[in-house]
Amino acid sequence: MPSEHKNLKQLDAQSILHPSTNAHDFAETGSKIIQSGKGIHLHDTDGNTLIDAVAGLWCVNVGYGRSELADAMQQAATNLSYYHTFTGMSNVPQIELAERLLSLAPKQMSKVFFASGGSDGNDSLMKIVWYYHNLIGKPAKRKIISRWQAYHGTSVATASLTGLPSFHKDFNLPIDGVLHTESPDYFRHANPGESELAFSQRRADELEQMILREGPDTVGAFIAEPVMGAGGVITPPEGYFAAIQAVTRKYDILFIADEVVCGFGRLGTWFGSEVYDIEPDMMTTAKALTSGYFPFSASFITEKIWDVIKQGSAKYGSFAHGYTYAGHPIGAAVAMANLDIIESEKLVDQSADVGAYFHQQLQQRFANDPFVAQIRGQGMLAAVQLMQDKDSKTFFAPSTKIAPQVTAECYKNGLIARPLPSVDSVAFSPPLVTTKSDVDSIVAIFEQSLRTVMQQHG
């Protein structure tokens, strides 16, 4: 390793508090520094070339190093480097983007609210839930129900929505008024012999019981990712969202779809809601909106909610919420160029096609593997469930840290896959420009890495 890179690693360890990183272990292991990227490949400062089968953090859908996005960024920055969107100010790129997004989004969506990421997008929707219910004279309807295993962000409010205990413990979270109902994880939680439909109905019944316990007049919204991402790549079991939506509609509870991972082609459709017949009242998108080239999010609301906000402003004054970088002209221009690529290269169709091939290959290679208990996902989102003994449904001891072991071996072999330690799974969400022959390479490296690690546990 060149000495300047060694230096960088030391400087990094001395100066940065890394997100979602074990601060104690990190002091010893140090960072991996990514230096450049092109297409689905990354290069680190140790001289490794890696296939990024996670697309960064499930976001680089058009792949790395796209000059179209760099050009759009440069032109936008040269033309208007920044101007705010408070107090009725606007800019051309955000207007064009809003119009385009509304033409792609579920038809009931009527207005877009821009922010910088998934957390502040979801945070904004939580505030809109409260604002809306206050304005319609139902101030008590303020509780928000999320699910265990969900991931909705890490701000104070959205870490509360996130249903992973490590995001709550020692942070004094969740905040009051955020509740978690049981997760849709059929693999882990189904009773012996219980069908997917019966399990889904049980989950909907549990949600209804929670609402009745709390009082329907106190519950304002329910939030869900179409497919849970960081919590395990959990696809909803058959009939799940139909049963859940029957309950939310019955008690007049707003449905928030968190499309931060699923939006913009990940599941082989523009949005995950399409796959599972979800009809959200509100929706957040981020990540692939700009393929991660610029921090940018778009949250959507229906005309019904917009109407209340409009009438509220007439009575009470401005909608007093927003961020300095909301509707940033550079971010909006990048999002437009990103959508141009997704459309002109037909990446949503490619995601469906290559995603089907990816799942077929994973099934073919691992369905009979003694250590692989389930392969799940949809489109270009997949997870492989590892298990010590799948016949007796015995999980690895948590101290084994099996998923991080496998992904560390993948890295050594030139592949970035994502460990999901809370569910002993390895996740994949490659850029949508990934081809079938790239999939062959991903699957081959994963297979080799899995064998190496499992030989030590066989």
Residues near ligand PLP, by CB under 6 A: 57, 117-119, 122, 151-153, 225, 229-230, 258, 260-261, 286
Q: In angstroms, what is the minimal distance from the CB of 233 to ligand PLP?
A: 11
SS3 state of residue 408: helix
Q: In angstroms, what is the minimal distance from the CB of 213 to ligand PLP?
A: 27
Q: At which residue do the structure tokens 């250590």 appear?
A: 371
CA dist., res. 294 & res. 286, Å (int):
10
Report the residue number, 296 or 371, with the smaller CB distance to ligand PLP. Answer: 296
Helix, strand, coil shares, percent, the chain, to 5: 45, 15, 40
Report the residue number, 45 or 291, with the smaller CB distance to ligand PLP. Answer: 291
Q: In angstroms, what is the minimal distance from the CB of 69 to ligand PLP?
A: 18
Report the residue number, 258 or 424, with the smaller CB distance to ligand PLP. Answer: 258
Q: In angstroms, what is the minimal distance from the CB of 315 to ligand PLP?
A: 32
Closest CA to 442 of 347, 353, 351, 365: 365
Report the residue number, 161 or 373, with the smaller CB distance to ligand PLP. Answer: 161
Phi first, then psi, for residue 145 (nearest 5°) are -100, 125
CA-to-CA dists, residue 174 to 151, 155, 156, 158, 258, angstroms = 13, 11, 8, 9, 18
CA dist., res. 339 & res. 333, Å (int):
10
Q: Which residue is nearest to ligand PLP (CB)?
A: 118
Q: In angstroms, what is the minimal distance from the CB of 292 to ligand PLP?
A: 9
Say if CB 402 and CB 414 are below 8 A apart: no
CA dist., res. 300 & res. 450, Å (int):
41
- Give the Cα-Cα-Cα angle 347, 338, 116 (nearest 5 degrees): 125
Report the residue number, 258 or 438, with the smaller CB distance to ligand PLP. Answer: 258
Report the residue number, 63 or 117, with the smaller CB distance to ligand PLP. Answer: 117
Report the residue number, 230 or 387, with the smaller CB distance to ligand PLP. Answer: 230
CA dist., res. 16 & res. 27, Å (int):
10
Q: In angstroms, what is the minimal distance from the CB of 122 to ligand PLP?
A: 6
Say if CB 428 and CB 418 are below 8 A apart: yes
Q: In angstroms, what is the minimal distance from the CB of 283 to ligand PLP?
A: 11
